[in-house]
Amino acid sequence: MTTLTLDEFAKMLQASAKAVRPRLDADLAKIGALTVPLAAEMIGNEMSDWPPLAPATVAEKERLGYTGQVSATDPRLRTGADRDSIRAEVADLTLAVGSDRKIFRYQELGTQTTPPRPVLGPAMLGSLEFAAETLGETAVALLTPGAKLK
C-alpha cells in the first residue's frame, strides 16, 4: 500500500482531473464500439420479445426476396441499410448510438400500425457489464497512487 502526504495526494488528484475527460471519452468510444455490432446483429433475427411479423408482411417480403437472409422472416431486414447505418458518437462525455435513417426510428419505436422492434436499448443493456468494468477500471486507475491507465 502506498502512503502519500496531503501534498502528494493533491498533486495526484490534479493530474487525475486533467486525465479524466479524455479517458472517459475513450472509454465511451469503446462502449459504443461494442454496442453498434450488438444492435446490428439483432436486425434480421426473430427476437423473443418482438411480436412476429404479420402474415401479409411476411408474404410481401417473400415476394420481394427479402426473407431467409438471417432468419425465416428477417424482421427489420430488407437491404441491410438500417443495420449498416448504426453509428456511435462521443461528444462532451456523452455516448450516442443510433441511426440517421427515418425508417430506423419507426422500426425502433413503432407506429400506429407497426409494433416497436427495438435494437438500440437492448444493445445498450448488453453493453452494461463491459461499461461498468471499463469505467470502473478507469476510476480506480485515476484515484490509485501509481496506477497506470490501460
**Domain extent for 48:** 23-143
Q: Does a structural domain hold residue 149?
A: no
Average pLDDT value for residue range 108-136: 96
Task: Tell whether the model's pLDDT for residue 31 goes beyond 80.
Answer: yes
**In this structure, which amino acid lies at residue 135?**
L
Q: Does a structural domain hold residue 43?
A: yes
Q: Does a structural domain hold residue 12?
A: no
Confidence of residue 147 (pLDDT cuts 50, 70, 90): low
Tell me how many domains the chain contains: 1
Query: For residue 130, which of 59, 28, 52 has the smallest C-alpha distance?
Result: 28
Q: Does a structural domain hold residue 13?
A: no
Looking at per-residue confidence, does 18 or 114 come out higher?
114
Distance of CA 67 to the CA centre of its chain: 26
Which pLDDT does position 64 carry in this prediction?
95
Q: Which three cell numbers stand for residue 138?
A: 478507469
Q: Is the dihedral of CA 88, 89, 90, 94 positive or negative?
A: negative
Which pLDDT does position 19 carry in this prediction?
79
C-alpha span between 38 and 27 (Å, rounded): 17
Q: Are 71 and 44 in contact (CB under 8 A)?
A: yes
Q: Does a structural domain hold residue 10?
A: no
Query: For residue 51, which of 6, 130, 114 has the smallest C-alpha distance?
Result: 114
- Indicate the pTM of the whole model: 0.86
